[in-house]
Structure 1
Amino acid sequence: MDIQNLQAFLLVAEEASFSLAAERLHLSQPAVSKRIALLEQGLGSELFDRIGRHVGLTEAGQALLPHAKAIVQQLFTAEQAVRDLSGDVAGQLRLATSHHIGLHRLPPVLSAFSKSYPGANIDIDFMDSEQAYDLIMQGRSELAVVTLAPVADDSMITRPVWQDPLVFMVAADHPLAGRRDCRLADLARHPAILPGLNTYTGQIVKRLFAEHRLALQVTMATNYLETIRMMASVGLGWTVLPRTMLDPGLVALPVAGTAIERSLGLVYHRGRSLSRAAQAFVAVLAEFGDTASRT
């Protein structure tokens, strides 16, 4: 099995689209289709069902998927081990992060890293934290600095860097603004604007309300926290955001019996040998964490 064919297979499976996979590989769609056809020919099985515009894995494709991920991951690890023999902190580091962390947390880290290691270049991909985990799993990103998953994955190494308290917020003219005895039941009676409930942050809020047997009235959901803050500030609903995002357009809403937060931190694959550039970045990142000593 050719490694390029396996990489094409993984991208088609992830995107459920030959055209989108071709864009990411910077190839034509026929070239990607040829790679999949060669792989199917070598295995003697069709890997994808093609029904109209829908592309889905066959039973054979489902069986191949975890092995293809492991093979690609091992290849990246082997390549990195050879590169590390040079001993220099140089080359390219592939880093995945969320828009929020990239805007509010990473700038001083990136500045310090660049000054200390000018020979290293960081290629940053901005995406949802959940997507970053997938990139790490597939070996297509070396490190991720993201919202950590509520449930640990044994194949990943995670290191908390910052604790990020979450705060209920409303516009100053919201009916609940100014109340000191607000409870979750009061919030449940008003529309909410929240991070997608499939995101790690959304899951924290969803679990909190589920524990109190309360339903959420989510009228709008988006994964972009800056957009949520803007919508809440114009009175479209209450929200939950990191405390650091509280601005003059919003007021914090104390809610009895709640204290929620999320962990932001580092993620990388347990089976991957980190490059010297990645090891150096991990060390610099730790200097900016909540537990770092300051002189």
Structure 2
Amino acid sequence: MDWANLTAFVAVADQGGFSAAAESLHLTQPAVSKRIALLEESLRARLFDRLGRQVVLTEAGRLLLPRARQILAEGEAARRALQDLDQDIGGRLSLATSHHVGLHRLPALLRRFTAQHPRAALDIRFMDSEQAYNQVLQGEVEVAVTTLGPTEAPLRSALVWHDPLQFAVAPDHPLARLPKATLADIAAHPAVLPDPNTFTHRIVAQTFARRGLALQVRMTTNHMETIKMMVSVGLAWSALPHTLLDAQVQVLPVPGVQLARRLGYVVHGGRTLSRAAQAFVGLLEEEASSS
């Protein structure tokens, strides 16, 4: 049943006539008559009897009236709920992120999000970037904020931060004594890196492979803070983001070599994001434009 036709039906019943109903609805009388005719046709029942100038409900009309009022009331309630949803975002934001990105990039954004949308619940899952991609693909989460790797449809990714890696060693590491380091110099010493299947490991390994050099990997762990600790005590070199660089480690500039890493968000191109997810993606895009 069409809501406009139901609205006209209730108005005629309440006003006691077509002319009064038309005036209350800001319509012409023929328009109201047409809506009633369409409703009667769809229900295959006569709803009003015209007794001279008087309009009275038929038995079918009396049966329909309370149900029509209920349908219209529920429709108005749904409209208000959707309007409230636009104005006051609730629901749940399901988000996957890597430990490093979650600890070093998201706190300020999450603070802004929760301040703007206090009714929204957060479901944050910490995992490797590659797992986060898969979580979005499988529909387990709406948004992933991770190291960006190759992205194919139906996934869609967007850059938020450039996050280049720097070769780093402990200040007393043998490499730290070199006035200039080359990739060959670095490859002669063991490294500590994330697992080989991670985007970050591939960035580093491919940089050496292009020069015909192989890596000596002493150990792997996907926690960048642990990698930084291993570097700081002199056990190995690694490639660290600038957020982890401090006096505990020494940067090794290598002329002509850049380890470009990109951080951003990933969503499923075929999924309609919740209002909470749309709002969070909006904050990420604002961050990207200001970075």
TM-score of the aligned structures, taking structure 2 as reference length: 0.69
Q: Name the counterpart of 2:146.
A: 146
Deviations 1:54-102 (A, max 9, x none): xxxxxxxxxxxxxxxxxxxxxxxxxxxx9xx835121011100011011
Deviation for aligned residue 1:243: 1.6
* Inter-partner Cα distance in structure 1 for 2:196 and 2:162: 20
Q: Is the 8 A contact 1:148 1:264 kept in 2?
A: yes
SS of the residue 2:175 aligns to: coil
* Inter-partner Cα distance in structure 2 for 1:107 and 1:195: 23
Deviation for aligned residue 1:287: 2.3
Deviation for aligned residue 1:185: 0.4
AA partner of residue 276 (structure 1): R
Deviation for aligned residue 1:214: 0.3
Q: Name the counterpart of 1:95.
A: 95
* Inter-partner Cα distance in structure 2 for 1:215 and 1:148: 24
SS of the residue 2:290 aligns to: coil
TM-score of the aligned structures, taking structure 1 as reference length: 0.68
Q: Name the counterpart of 2:108.
A: 108
AA partner of residue 131 (structure 1): Q
* Inter-partner Cα distance in structure 1 for 2:179 and 2:264: 33
How do 1:36-51 residues align onto structure 2 when only pairs under 5 Å count?
A: none
* Inter-partner Cα distance in structure 2 for 1:130 and 1:165: 19
* Inter-partner Cα distance in structure 2 for 1:232 and 1:249: 9
Q: Name the counterpart of 2:21.
A: none
* Inter-partner Cα distance in structure 2 for 1:266 and 1:152: 11
Q: Name the counterpart of 2:205.
A: 206
Deviation for aligned residue 1:211: 0.5
SS of the residue 2:174 aligns to: coil
What is the alpha-carbon root mean square deviation over aligned residues?
1.5
Deviation for aligned residue 1:180: 3.0
Q: After TM superposition, what 4+ stretches of structure 1 lie above 4 angstroms from structure 2?
A: none
Q: Name the counterpart of 1:86.
A: 82
SS of the residue 2:151 aligns to: coil
Q: Does residue 242 of the first structure (1) align with residue 241 of the second (2)?
A: yes
Q: Does residue 165 of the first structure (1) align with residue 154 of the second (2)?
A: no
Q: Name the counterpart of 1:12.
A: none
Q: Is the 8 A contact 1:183 1:255 kept in 2?
A: yes
* Inter-partner Cα distance in structure 1 for 2:278 and 2:179: 47
SS of the residue 1:95 aligns to: strand
Q: Is the 8 A contact 1:180 1:254 kept in 2?
A: no
Q: Name the counterpart of 1:186.
A: 185
Deviation for aligned residue 1:238: 0.7
Q: Name the counterpart of 1:28.
A: none
Report the identity percentage.
53
How do 1:197-276 residues align onto structure 2 when only pairs under 5 Å count?
A: 197-276=196-275
Q: Name the counterpart of 1:133.
A: 133
* Inter-partner Cα distance in structure 2 for 1:148 and 1:180: 33
SS of the residue 2:115 aligns to: helix
* Inter-partner Cα distance in structure 2 for 1:275 and 1:183: 49
* Inter-partner Cα distance in structure 2 for 1:292 and 1:286: 9
* Inter-partner Cα distance in structure 2 for 1:178 and 1:145: 37
Deviation for aligned residue 1:110: 0.3
* Inter-partner Cα distance in structure 2 for 1:90 and 1:168: 43
SS of the residue 1:282 aligns to: helix
AA partner of residue 191 (structure 2): A
* Inter-partner Cα distance in structure 1 for 2:82 and 2:212: 58
* Inter-partner Cα distance in structure 1 for 2:183 and 2:95: 38
Q: Is the 8 A contact 1:192 1:237 kept in 2?
A: yes
**How many residues are paired up?**
208
AA partner of residue 226 (structure 2): T
Runs of 5+ unmatched residues, structure 1: 1-81
* Inter-partner Cα distance in structure 2 for 1:133 and 1:104: 19
* Inter-partner Cα distance in structure 2 for 1:103 and 1:268: 20
Q: Is the 8 A contact 1:142 1:274 kept in 2?
A: yes
* Inter-partner Cα distance in structure 2 for 1:268 and 1:287: 17
Deviations 1:147-197 (A, max 9, x none): 111x22121110100000100000000011042321000111111111112
Deviations 1:27-57 (A, max 9, x none): xxxxxxxxxxxxxxxxxxxxxxxxxxxxxxx
